[in-house]
Amino acid sequence: GESVGLHLPTLSVQEGDNSIINCAYSNSASDYFIWYKQESGKGPQFIIDIRSNMDKRQGQRVTVLLNKTVKHLSLQIAATQPGDSAVYFCAEIPASYIPTFGRGTSLIVHP
Amino acid sequence: EAGVTQFPSHSVIEKGQTVTLRCDPISGHDNLYWYRRVMGKEIKFLLHFVKESKQDESGMPNNRFLAERTGGTYSTLKVQPAELEDSGVYFCASSQMMNTEAFFGQGTRLTVV
């Protein structure tokens, strides 16, 4: 069935390195995607979004890439900091408009 | 402007008891969503309100779960009777329009013992 999934459940990086978190989706009807960051004890927080008419969008230290051909989404974090440690979720918004989440990737930043 | 708020932040109840979770969305947001995350797993959709109407409740696990949204403002999610497998973190989110960013509350951690 349709699904949103993540390739790596845990990603460990050194402070200052760049991080890349990947997400695969299979619902070709989705035209809106969001990356959320969830810190311990908090709810998911919006990081960046992208619509299907774009293939790249940049924010402050974060970049989202969308490859519709292979149905792949990635979140790049530049100069990763300890404060970036969290669980990252990608969410797709299909035609039903219900945000659908994958399992999440835990990012661990070592000082 | 206040964000999405949820109450309580934590709840520990015994199996068979009843628990009611509350969500206050951002003022003016017609869309309200309930999600649940069981330890280590994905955030799973439970249901979606548009104002006071249930737009989609396909994610509700069973009839022990009852959600309401009085007057299209705050929402409650009642679990009666609670079972061990209901433990998890329950998130509420709201959005102004469908297909726009959903803002999440901090979640309610429910533990059924």
Q: Concatenated DSSP letters for A29-46?
A: T--EEEEEEE-TTS--EE
Name every chain B residue with its beta carbon within 8 A of the beta carbon of A41.
Answer: 106
Half-sphere exposure of B77 (CA within 13 A, CB side): 31
A61-81 per-position pLDDT tens digit: 999 999 999 999 999 999 999
Q: Which of A89, A88, A86, A87 is nearest to A100 (CA)?
A: A89
Question: Which residues have a Cβ under 8 Å from the Cβ of B53 and sit 6 or more positions away?
Answer: none
B59-69 per-position pLDDT tens digit: 999 999 999 99
Of B43, B56, B105, the CB nearest to A89: B43
Q: Which residue has the tokens 């726009």?
A: B100
Q: What local confidence, expressed as pLDDT, does residue A9 receive? A: 81
Query: Which of A17-21, B37-41, B96-100: highest mean pLDDT?
Result: A17-21
Interface of A with B (CB under 8 A): 4, 31-32, 34, 36, 41-46, 49, 89, 93, 96-104
Contact B101 A100 (CB under 8 A): no
CA distance B83 to chain A (A): 23
> Taking residues B1-30, what's their average pLDDT?
95
Rounded CA separation B58/B62 (Å): 10
Q: Residue A47 above 70 pLDDT?
A: yes
Q: What local confidence, expressed as pLDDT, does residue A84 receive? A: 97
Rounded CA separation B87/B36 (Å): 9
B50-107 per-position pLDDT tens digit: 999 999 999 999 999 999 998 889 999 999 999 999 999 999 999 998 778 889 999 9
Rounded CA separation B49/B67 (Å): 9
Regarding predicted confidence, which is higher, B1 or B61? Answer: B61
| Whether B30 contacts B51, CB under 8 Å | yes
